[in-house]
Amino acid sequence: MQSGALSLIHSQEMSRKIARRYAELLGLDQGSLEKLRTMDLRQLFEAQAQVGAENPGTIPAAPWFDGDLIAGSFDEAHERPSAPVPLIAGAARDEIRLFEIMPGDILPSKWPELEALLVDQLGKDHADRILATYPRTKHGRRALASDLTFYMPTRNFAERNAGHSPTWFYRFDYSHPIAGATHGLDLTLTWPMKGARAVFARGGRMRGKRAALGERMVGHYAHFVRHLTPGPGWPAYAPEDRPVKVFDLDDRVVKDLEGQRFAAWAGRDVGPGIRGD
């Protein structure tokens, strides 16, 4: 599980609102399947841009809590036990940087919207406890935005899974010179990407310590596929000491990484798409 668990899934109300807006923009109804199949892709892209602009702070094309394939609500999903299977889960340290760089207000990244989500979904007292663990700086804001959207929901899921099945958790800390340890950067080291664009995307050529990092990550994943455990040097995540594998040019294992922040979240997630307005 990479970069996200339950936090980016939409409520049923939000999903229906977005679906209705797509239908309005594209002139569709229940009998328009053929029209949708043959529609000019430009129209779909234009509608996607419009819907995205009208729904800032969330990803419009997201799964939703349908009560069929997945749980019927955010709360129900938290209450249900995860599947009894071994799990590798993790996220990047600076997840939100990609969404700060990309055009459009895709995910919440500014203090007012982050605070509003926390207060609305967790209550003021809990929100204040969380906010107290993040310095009122640019670094603190980015850490909070990354934790709210990706890192904490993923770690909370791993914590619950570790209660019944072998689980390993990581944080990706290798930094791009412009974007830091941002969302998706890990893929540039683990996928066979070549050419000038790949060099720019990963922040350098695939050689030396950078290449070795990619090889270590792929090695752990491949070992997990074959043996249901990662390779040596990565202890299982357990509530007693919560070891986190930190992937960087030089890897390390840290017990209860950012433990004060993790404790402040207290197992709760905030969902940017859990809105019905």
pLDDT at res. 78: 86
Give a yes or no: residue 47 inside a domain: no
- Write down the pTM of the prediction: 0.91
Give a yes or no: residue 184 inside a domain: yes
Question: Which of 275, 247, 257 has the alpha carbon at shortest distance from 158?
Answer: 257
Q: What are the tokens at 96? A: 């939100």
Give a yes or no: residue 73 inside a domain: no
pLDDT at res. 277: 46
Domain count for the chain, please give it.
1
For 81-230, strand residue ranges (E) read 87-92, 167-172
Give a yes or no: residue 139 inside a domain: yes
The answer to whether the CB of 251 falls within 8 A of the CB of 177 is no
Task: Tell me the CB-side half-sphere exposure of residue 150, using CA atoms within 13 A.
Answer: 29
d(CA 28, CA 37): 11
Those residues whose C-beta lies under 8 Å from the C-beta of residue 38, and which sit 6 or more positions away, are none
Which parts of the chain sit beneath pLDDT 70?
275-277
Give a yes or no: residue 201 inside a domain: yes
pLDDT at res. 275: 63
Give a yes or no: residue 41 inside a domain: no
The CATH number that applies at residue 235 is: 3.40.50.1820
Give a yes or no: residue 197 inside a domain: yes
d(CA 18, CA 198): 34
Which residues are 176's β-sheet partners? Answer: 180
Question: Which of 158, 119, 160 has the alpha carbon at shortest distance from 2?
Answer: 158
pLDDT at res. 273: 80
| Residue 161: domain span | 86-265
Give a yes or no: residue 17 inside a domain: no
140-187 per-position pLDDT tens digit: 999 999 999 999 999 999 999 999 999 999 999 999 999 999 999 999
The answer to whether the CB of 128 falls within 8 A of the CB of 144 is no
pLDDT at res. 11: 87
